[in-house]
Amino acid sequence: MTSIRTAAVVAFLAAAGLCASIATGSASAFFAWKVVDVPHGDTLNVRAWPSSQSQILVAYPNQTMLSMTGKCTGGVNLATIAGWPAWKQRRAVRYAWCEVWLDPRGTGQYRAAWVYGKYIRPA
């Protein structure tokens, strides 16, 4: 009976280790970008979905740091372009909506939202 219990514990630990390595390998990185080129006195709207008609969750002025998830519309991935010069990265996202990770109410409840690429650049 002890050998069966030991085998079960070993199998459980091996499965737990496999799950932990899968979770770690699939975790996404965040990319630091900032708000730029918003006209004086205006703010960048952060929206619920990638559309100018979508609900505005929060708005940020120029120089605000953003935590980007890496996902943009049009097949742009910030991880793929991260090594490019900043001007080239900006050009790649110029007409795309990019996903940000934010806490719009400051309550610790983070969610994904979207900003228009024209107004962001790598930090």
Q: Is 28 helix (H, G, I), strand (E, B) or coil?
A: coil
Q: pLDDT, tens digit, for every residue of 54-73?
A: 999 999 999 999 999 999 99
Q: Where are the domains of the chain?
A: 29-122
CATH topology of domain 29-122: SH3 type barrels. (2.30.30)
Q: pLDDT, tens digit, for every residue of 5-63?
A: 443 333 333 443 433 333 333 345 799 999 999 999 999 999 999 999 999 999 999 99
d(CA 18, CA 44) in angstroms, rounded, equals 42
Question: How many residues are listed for the chain in this entry?
Answer: 123
pLDDT of the residue at 12:
37
Q: pLDDT, tens digit, for every residue of 72-115?
A: 999 999 999 999 999 999 999 999 999 999 988 889 999 999 99
Taking phi first (over 0 means left), then psi (-120 to 50 degrees means alpha), and beta for anything else, what does residue 22 get? alpha
**Contact status, residue 48 vs residue 54, Cβ threshold 8 Å:** yes
Q: What pTM was computed for the model?
A: 0.75
Q: Return the amino acid letter for 21.
A: S
* Other Cβ atoms within 10 Å of 121 Cβ, number: 17
